[in-house]
Structure 1
Amino acid sequence: MSDITREVSGSKGRYVLAQDGAEAELTYSIASHHLIIADHTGVPDVMRSSGAGKALVERLVADARAEGVKIVPLCPFVKSLSRRHPEWADVFQ
């Protein structure tokens, strides 16, 4: 799997994982210096079952920990993973 890149523009951000010409993404909104809202995860059909979505969420969690940010999991996929990974509870609201 390729490296995940992070893009931030104003109050919006996204993580992108590119693989074989396709892109999976996790988008978020920056609510404050200490709070972000994970609002969408999109994985194209050619990348499904590859672990791309989980890899994006893992990067989101790692960055949130490193930056002291809390995550509101508005995206159903992120919310579902946060419930299955209690070890991430420190960054989710």
Structure 2
Amino acid sequence: MSNGTEPAFSIQHEEGETRGRYVIHLDKGNAEMTYSKAGDSLLIIDHTFVPSSMRKQSIGAALVRHAVEEARHAGKKIMPLCSFVNAQFARHPEWNDVLDR
């Protein structure tokens, strides 16, 4: 799920009853974006982590884009408490349909 400017990564979605995460397994550690569920239709993204040696490679952006696409497909909204995710939403007004402030 790339827009052509980001490299393709294998993103796994791990979901529990009240929390979940999107994770990319890398040679130098895992990148992840975690969220809490608020009901059946809202994901509150609270944290994004990319190993320092892997930063500047659009890994975090790929995680956010993947979550946006999944939320859109499932009819859910995203509340970005994480500053990185909030900045990504500011850069991508086309994601406003899934944004919940």
- What range describes the TM-score normalised by the shorter chain of this pair? over 0.9
Give me the TM-score of the superposition, normalised by structure 1: 0.95
Counterpart code for 1:59: H
Aligned-residue offset at 1:69: 0.3
Q: For 1:1-93, list aligned pairs within 5 A.
A: 1-93=8-100
Identity across aligned pairs (percent)? 47
Q: Take 1:11 and 1:69, find their aligned partners in 2: how far apart are those partners?
A: 15
The two structures, once aligned, show a CA RMSD in angstroms of 1.0
| Runs of 4+ off more than 4 Å | none
SS in structure 2 at match of 1:2: coil
SS in structure 2 at match of 1:33: coil
- Which stretches in structure 1 are left out of the alignment for 5+ residues? none
CA contact (8 A) 2:34 2:45 kept: yes
Aligned-residue offset at 1:46: 1.4
Counterpart code for 1:11: T
Q: Take 1:2 and 1:80, find their aligned partners in 2: how far apart are those partners?
A: 21
Counterpart code for 2:59: A
SS in structure 2 at match of 1:10: coil
Give me the TM-score of the superposition, normalised by structure 2: 0.88
Q: Take 1:21 and 1:41, find their aligned partners in 2: how far apart are those partners?
A: 16
Aligned-residue offset at 1:47: 1.1
Q: Take 2:9 and 2:27, find their aligned partners in 1: how far apart are those partners?
A: 9
Whose strand proportion is higher, 1 or 2? Answer: 1
Q: Take 2:37 and 2:84, find their aligned partners in 1: how far apart are those partners?
A: 19
- Which stretches in structure 2 are left out of the alignment for 5+ residues? 1-7
